[in-house]
Amino acid sequence: MLGIFGGSGFYKFLDNVKEVEVETEFGKPSDKIFIGEYKGKKVAFLPRHSRAHNFPPHKIPYKANIAAFKKLGVRQIIAPCASGSLAPNIKPGDFVVCNQFVNFTWGRDDTFFHGSSHPRNYEISTNSTKDSDNVIARLDRAIQDGPSVDSPVEPANNSWWNKVAHISCAEPYCRYLSDLIFEVCQNLRMPVHKDKTVVVINGPRFSTKGESRFFSEQDWDVINMTQYPEAILAREAEICYAAVALITDYDAGLEGNPDIKPVTLDEVLKVFNENNEKIKKALFEVIDKIDENRDCPCHKALEGAVIS
């Protein structure tokens, strides 16, 4: 089954749609998941911010989202994401298939592999200091309340990912899926770029001009708040994952660049709506063309990992 981190606009095009609630050992995903069929292929949709858009980027339950897809049998994920441009030649309205990320987020629970020595597994000693009592109480609360950025929730002791693993991240995106998205966008005559680098910032605030100029000067291409840890968690779960960035505007650091005309809010919204229509078309084309049963190195990502 193919999984898409996408919004509600898709369901009306699908057959046999059902809404499922999935529980995972990492808590609930952002929303219920819609599963439907398109040309006989099953597709699952999950809006990463929820339909009510009540998860800001730093609070999205990334682990539960990926674990829910895994539980449903999703083998391939396509992740459209709104992004800003850091390069004059990548214009609002363009689409960008990323092949690298640079992570500037902090404090997010970014691995399934916390090992078995997590403080949750320590016995509470009667001699423990006040501070360590607080830590254990906080973790216990987190386990009851579900996942949060501050206190990652651990899987049960017998889980296969209750281990230590160092996974390769040199090529974090699935080559097959990325190439397929690029080809489809090209065939639809959409303005599309490939093999670009996305900088991921923590948000929810945008970058200062100084930060944005620094990112542009590194020759990084687009900027976003959700690609990390979503991409690498998918790899840890051995699911193919590809991202397509929908460029809404130029980032702050490009202001004043003589090659760039200032963008108004009206233009941003117009671009956003047009982008949504185009990406919808592209995704249905991808669903049509995708080889769901294809074996991919992504499905064996843990074979190459150092595990103990």
> Catalytic residues, which ones?
249, 251
Chain Cα centroid distance, residue 265? 26
Q: Is 183 helix (H, G, I), strand (E, B) or coil?
A: helix
Q: Exactly one of 240, 242, 252, 254 binds Zn ion (CB under 5 A); which one?
A: 240
Shorter beta-carbon distance to Zn ion: residue 174 or 283: 174
CA distance 280 to 243: 14
Does 99 contact Zn ion by CB under 5 A? Answer: no
239 touches Zn ion (CB under 5 A): no
Alpha-carbon distance 233 to 61, whole Å? 11
**Chain center to CA of 77:** 9
Which residues are bridge partners to 28 per DSSP?
Answer: none
Rounded Cα distance between 150 and 156, Å, is 19
- Packing angle, helices 227-236 and 62-72, rounded to 10: 40
> Of 252 and 298, which has the nearer Cβ to Zn ion?
298
Q: How far is the CB of 95 from Zn ion (least distance, A)?
A: 20
Q: Closer to Zn ion by CB, 76 or 111: give it.
A: 76
Verify binding: residue 82, Zn ion, rule CB under 5 A. no
Residue 180 binds Zn ion, judged by CB under 5 A: no
Q: How far is the CB of 43 from Zn ion (least distance, A)?
A: 17
Considering the complex, what minimum distance in angstroms separates the CB of residue 51 from Zn ion? 28
**Burial letters 1-15, b for 16+ CB under 10 A, else e:** ebbbbbbeebeeebe
Token pair listed for 110: 């970014």
- Residues 288, 274: Cα–Cα separation, whole Å: 22
Q: Which is nearer to Zn ion, 139 or 174 (CB)?
A: 174
**Residue 234 CB, nearest approach to Zn ion (Å):** 9
Binding of Zn ion by 78 (CB under 5 A): no
Site for Zn ion in 276-305 (CB under 5 A): 296, 298
Q: Smallest distance from the beta carbon of 213 to Zn ion, in angstroms?
A: 35
Among 96, 174, 271, 282, binds Zn ion (CB under 5 A): 174
Binding site for Zn ion (CB under 5 A): 174, 240, 296, 298
